[in-house]
């Protein structure tokens, strides 16, 4: 995720996790751009145009966002543990516990700030069931958790005796 339209989130991620993210770069890259890595200058790193740096930055941002979403969902939906996948550096998938076969799909909003949250059956990814724009990461997490809770309650009520 390049987060070009989500600069606040991008800055927050690198300000709070920049040191650990910068340590993930290969030694050759850290050596080539020593003036960035020695000073821990994440702002210069984010402005760099080298395709290798851009690719790594996008990948590390996507991994960090994926981890944040997974951790929040696991905490909210305990005892369930969610499976997340990162099929590409601009796409996060979360397997639903509430509805068999449903995948929650997260991409950066191509038309502006925030994220696109969509759902589809894993067997038919081309058939989007619904889509919502979430302007904040918390909105996205709460949308997934809210829907999962509704589905889980419906599923639980189907097993109750009248």
Per-residue pLDDT reduced to its tens digit, 141-150: 999 999 998 8
* Residue 65: CA count within 13 A, CB half-sphere: 31
- The pLDDT score that the predictor gives to residue 155 is 67
In this structure, is residue 20 part of a structural domain? yes
pLDDT band at 56 (very low <50, low <70, confident <90, very high): very high
In this structure, is residue 151 part of a structural domain? yes
* Residue 71: CA count within 13 A, CB half-sphere: 7
- The pLDDT score that the predictor gives to residue 157 is 57
- The pLDDT score that the predictor gives to residue 110 is 82
- The pLDDT score that the predictor gives to residue 162 is 52
Dist CA 53 CA 58 (whole Å):
9
Range of the domain at 98: 7-158
Q: What is the pTM of this model?
A: 0.86
Instruction: Quote the percentage of the chain above a pLDDT of 90.
Output: 67
Specify the DSSP class assigned to residue 24.
T
Contact 88, 66 (CB under 8 A): no
Give whole-number Cα distances, 90 to 35, 38, 66, 130, 153, in Å.
28, 28, 11, 19, 32
In this structure, is residue 65 part of a structural domain? yes
**Domain count across the chain:** 1
In this structure, is residue 1 part of a structural domain? no
| Tens digits of residue pLDDT in 127-162 | 999 999 999 999 999 999 999 988 878 766 554 555
In this structure, is residue 96 part of a structural domain? yes
In this structure, is residue 67 part of a structural domain? yes
Q: Hey, CA dihedral for 15, 113, 72, 84, is it positive or negative?
A: negative
- The pLDDT score that the predictor gives to residue 5 is 84
In this structure, is residue 2 part of a structural domain? no
Contacts of 117 (CB under 8 A, 6+ apart): 104, 105, 106, 131, 132, 133, 134, 140, 143, 144
Q: Does position 89 have pLDDT exceeding 70, yes or no?
A: yes
């Amino acid at each position: 995720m390049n987060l070009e339209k989500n600069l606040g989130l991008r800055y927050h991620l690198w300000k709070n996790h920049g040191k650990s993210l910068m340590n993930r770069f290969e030694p050759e890259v850290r050596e080539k751009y020593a003036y960035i890595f020695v000073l821990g200058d994440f702002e210069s790193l984010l402005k760099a145009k080298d395709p290798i740096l851009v690719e790594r930055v996008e990948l590390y941002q996507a991994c960090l966002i994926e981890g944040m979403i997974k951790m929040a969902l696991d905490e909210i939906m305990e005892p369930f543990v969610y499976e997340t996948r990162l099929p590409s550096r601009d796409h996060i998938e979360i397997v639903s516990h509430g509805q068999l076969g449903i995948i929650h799909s997260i991409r950066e909003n191509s038309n502006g700030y925030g994220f696109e949250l969509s759902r589809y059956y894993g067997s038919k990814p081309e058939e989007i069931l619904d889509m919502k724009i979430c302007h904040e990461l918390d909105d996205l997490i709460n949308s997934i958790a809210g829907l999962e809770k509704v589905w889980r309650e419906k599923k639980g009520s189907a097993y109750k005796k009248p």
